Structure 1
């Protein structure tokens, strides 16, 4: 048997060093004209059609970037 063989253990990066996804917030008018509608955007669009509803946008998965 030879020494030095075994499992290689990778060290985890601290959470502050990991890359995170960044999404742009889009409003209901953007979701209405989207070429590839998603379920989250369509649900947001349906909620915004009610009179008096206030919305701040929904994160769009098509605008995902690494930060």
Structure 2
């Protein structure tokens, strides 16, 4: 895992800890955007976040996965 270093005053101001999860990216205008979250999401946190435009059948999808 990559380690990111921040100045002490920045860590205090934005409450950045060792467990914090940092997301780097660009916003619509192309500027750097940094998001700081309390901790890295677990698999359980991610379940159900995405949506499909099509209706799906979980049993059928699972069967297709193991073909």
Q: TM-score range by the shorter chain?
A: under 0.3
Q: TM-score, normalised by structure 2?
A: 0.19
Q: Which structure shows the bigger proportion of residues in helix conformation?
A: 2
The one of the two structures with greater contact order (alpha-carbon pairs below 8 A, sep at least 6) is 1
Larger gyration radius, structure 1 or structure 2: 1
Q: Which structure shows the bigger proportion of residues in strand conformation?
A: 1
Q: TM-score, normalised by structure 1?
A: 0.19
